[in-house]
Amino acid sequence: MNSKVYVHQVVEIEGTNRSAYVAMVANRAEKGAGRRAGRLVGVFAAVPSTGYWHRTFEVWEYEGWSALAENIQYLRGISRDKAAEESQWQEKASRMRFGGQSRVMLPAEWSPSLDKIPGSDHKAGCYEHQVVNLRQGAAAAYLERAGRRVVPIMSRYGAVVVGAWRTALVDEDEVILLWAHRSWKAWGAFERESRNDEELRAWRLESGDCVLDYRSTILFSAPATAVP
């Protein structure tokens, strides 16, 4: 069972600053190692033809709610020297980004922690990021069903789950799934063949009792990404 807590961030990048911003995030993650900071699961960039241009995604893993609260408290009460350092980082980052959104996420029981994500045996070519909007209160039950139904289907196409999370601090009405495809060719084959996949169509019909809508965005990983 995965008892971690995650912070999922969508960051809107200004102009051509994506590479520089990603490098800053990687450096920040490295400096935070061994402190109260979360562990960086990955930094991902959206493929423009499948989503918003210049958008990046960050996922951070914390040991639990206490660790997340401790990190927030630490940032609020850091020393003057550290406060100046943090202020400089934020000021520099603000010149590279113009907005974003953060979510606190809770994992499904079958969602792997960072230490359990497949490593050398699965090198991802790209990622599929799915946001599923649900009826109020349906998130936990949807994830439990998805673990039984969707994981075996995706496995047939060679895809593995990086994360399956429900959004906390809201009405249990949103789920985010992140899948790793072995290659761009594998993702293309999945999109082509899944249109006529009877098991997948049956799942979509079955889950229609609670799914309001969903959207997939294809991502590629930045060098700072910890997952394969």
Contact predicate 211/134, CB 8 Å: yes
Residue 147, classed as helix, strand or coil, is helix
**pLDDT tens-digit series, residues 19-59:** 888 888 878 877 765 455 688 898 898 999 998 888 899 99
Residues with Cβ within 8 Å of 11's Cβ and at least 6 positions away in sequence, in order, are: 21, 55, 56, 57, 58, 97, 99, 100
- Assess whether pLDDT exceeds 80 at residue 192: yes
Q: Which residue has the higher pLDDT, 16 or 77?
A: 16
- Assess whether pLDDT exceeds 80 at residue 87: no
Q: Which residue has the higher pLDDT, 222 or 10?
A: 10
pLDDT band at residue 223 under the 50/70/90 scheme: low
Out of 3-7, 51-55, 190-194, 209-213, least confident range: 51-55
- Numbers of helices and strands, H then E, in the chain: 6, 8
**pLDDT tens-digit series, residues 94-113:** 889 988 999 999 999 999 99
- All structural domains of the chain, each given as residue ranges with its CATH number in brackets, are 5-106 (3.30.70.100), 107-221 (3.30.70.100)
